[in-house]
Structure 1
Amino acid sequence: MFLVILLFGFFPLSSALSHQYHFVNESKTWSEAQSYCRANYTDLATLYNTDDVNALTQLGSQTGSAWIGLHDDVQNSWRWSITDSSFYGPGETTYRNWSPAEPNNFRGKELCVDMHPVGTWNDIPCDYNYPFVCYGVNDTYVLNTTQLSWNDAQASCRANYIDLASIRNSTENQKVHDAANGNTVYIGLNRTRLWSDGSDSSFRYWKSGQPDNANGNQYCTAFSDSGHWTDENCNTTRPFFCYSAFVVGLRMDIQTKTELTEAEIEEMILKPFLEELIENGLPNSTTVRLRRLHRINT
């Protein structure tokens, strides 16, 4: 039996050929703007490089600043320093061992994490100087007693070992606690801003001195009329930029000895295909969906 599968998918690549930006001159909160973009286009704008900055600037009719898709999701923006997805098994990026009442993001600037001498965690400003634990080859953990900021500690671990310690489970938490030898130490967990569409774009174009979270509640990102970005209170209203994704149609011819249901096709064929697309450079927000199916008996 042959299966002829017709697919369609969203591929939000950074190119004028693959997506189109739209300026919406209506004042909305960041969440309202997100809902509007998702209902009428694809999502709030994701930017990948200065060409995208220029594209938004050239849309014209913008005054002041406008929302884009970058935001700090206080609950879900925690990320480990080791970013290789193959390092983590199911659920291993979400292990946490917070101290009571933590994380509390005091004054809105506690974006990095230390481990207390008792083995529990606390969110703190990234510019504090602490010893730190690195992760090395053969699953080893190494204490460095030099007191550095989180970013400098990360750079030191990456230069001399593999990375800052990323803790996947309670067993590893105990190993890091043992390596810390009674010190309060930096570990690899930190909070970073995310794109509304789930893109993995690392491009940033902050205005000098930004983001500063000046009032402790500036978790959303606005595009200024100069093209640079500022962090703002998500509940303020302003115009915004959306984008439309590039939609691609694909045909797959599959030979199979047994008849497959659509659910089996999704799990056995489309899911691995999507994973391969993402592994080869497409954004995490890429989607693939079954549009039409023909079965041909041979």
Structure 2
Amino acid sequence: MLFSLLFLLFLLNSVTGTCPKGTVSDPYSNKWKCLAFVTPGKLYLTADGFCNDEYNGHLTSVENGFVNMFISQNADTAFVNETAQRFWIGVNNVGGNGWTNMDGSNATYFDWAPEEPANSTGSNGCVSVNMKGLWYNDDCFTNYPYVCGVSELGVTPTTPSTETTTKPASVIEYGYYGNGEWYNVLYNVSELVSTVEGMIQNASLNHSLIDATWKCLAFVNQTKPYMVAEGYCKDKYNGDLVSVPNGFFNMFITQTANFPSTEVLSTFWIGVSNISGNGWTNIDGSNVTYSDWASSEPATATGSNGCVSVDSKGFWHNDDCYTDHYYVCEVPEVGVSSTPQPSDPTTTTAPDSVSCWSYIPFAIDYSSTLTAIDLQPASIIEYKHGGVNFYHVPYDVSELVSMVEDIEYDIYLTDSYIDTGIFGLLYLGVFDYKDGIPINSVIFAGRASLYYNISDTQSRIDFLTANGNTVTIVLVNPGLDLTDITQLRNVNIVQWSEDSTELLTNIQKGMECGGGSPVYRPCKKWFSFAPDTSNTLSGTDFGTQIAFLKKESSTINRPDKIQVVYLNDPIYSYYDWNHPESFSYYNPFYITDQNASMIFNLNKTLSTLYEDYYPAHVNKMVFQPPFVAWVSVSNTSTYENYGGADEVVQKLKDAGFQLTFFLLGPDVDASKLQNYTTNFVYWKNMSNPQPDDWENIRMKAYGCEN
């Protein structure tokens, strides 16, 4: 009775303390004098990060039974509308070294529920409390409401501080614990510089918890095989796939990778591997001293299966190194050497922040009517009155930025019309993907006038907005005549703002985000086609070959995955990978004439194929296996026709090509070609519109099945 009375008096007194607004005074604690009861629920480290960002505190420690009862009885009221009847406190054993508090102090009081704690380390090593004050070691990846420990006004927290340093550009920045900080899509170099200059390390974060050699991370939103991902980290950031020193760091990168504003991942690469078969090491050269293997892992743990991916719960899997996963790069701080000191890390790979899961093709007015050209974001096409320029599909943000920086507006052209940009967007290959991912087209316009009539323009907009897709017109110049565009339906109209956050918010309001996943038909490969243009085939058979290839290529839903090589001795032409245009606008099998003076030569054909691949591969490091090449072979009657190709065939195979030879006509001898490949498609009777038994062998010819 006496305790209840004292407790009530303390509750009444809590209204008049020196705590920040929105918190209550805790008279029983010698550490945190104020408490914040926070909803909605968050993952454990994300919750702690909020406590630090919002209150310069941590998830609260619990020093004794009075504090425990005070917190749980207040939580019963504060969290009454929450489905989850537990909440997070700062006690944990994530590191596996015993129970500690997130503020860095040792845990000295416990009130475990029956049969607790169990499974008490790693991703299960976080403490939740029920409304009766009983403790549970819980899954750290659960969303619970939480209680922050907050210092009184004018009192500085005693958590260790860090030197304030400016960090290099990246998609997110992170401290030593807590949540990642996500940055908006950047609109230009000036904003990028401002953003980077503003990325200042939080001075109140606790070094001892994360203890990572690398203080900056890049969560890369593209899927790559293991070594390609590592190469990107080196080339882009002068770093490596990330190493993981302990359970806190493992949980941090996993929870950040699954941050609610990003695409939810299944697995991602980290830097741990056993490719050499000599034991698990980090690719940055440091030793592996921490691991969190999933059940029955590691298995088949060397060579091409010796790479480590991490799932959405932070568990490790030894994985096929040729699988495409997202990944996380270690990034050196500005002025800090990129050579890490050996530590106890494990590596993971994760994705970049995406504000809106969708495809976003851009059209930019590059006439002189556009006065703010230098402020515009990346684009896919540029337009002016009477013309559209298509840019190849950019491989990454760096290439995209370079493309935009190279745009020059036409100072002599004073007219431009929005419908020219709309017309250009119609013919982008992204509309062939048809994978359920929304397409949000954005047109940046210097004028609001139309060249064509309203009904023609509306029909084009109806195409662009089919299946839930959207169109947004950004009016870059002020005071425009809106008579034409206000008559259009299903269009979002946004006025340019110098405030990039405001502009981005207004653009995103009209976007459709989420849904679908990338689809590659017939399968995820790069396809090369090398038709025969020599004088061997009759005109009719040549036409049949081209018609067949044209039909087949149109079944591939990603035009940017197709390359077509024509050999017209000594000149060849090609339709390259990452081409932006749709098949409905431009089919690569446009050729109608043979070269009447050219003799079929397999070595020259394959050499041309390799020459087209090699410069792109070396200069951009963009195109990575698997590649499938369809090569038409029409003549094996002499060694000149089929011989001498051993060296180039080996180069193509080393690069990752699967060669499939289409044997055109009854006289081609497959036995003369078996030292090059054993993948043959027979087309003995070319009066038929497709090769022999095509329906049964089609997927194998594409390399989509063994």
* Structure of greater Rg: 2
Q: TM-score, normalised to structure 1's length?
A: 0.38
Q: TM-score, normalised to structure 2's length?
A: 0.17
The higher-RCO structure (CA 8 Å, 6+ apart) is 1
Q: Which has the higher helix share?
A: 2
Q: Which has the higher strand share?
A: 1
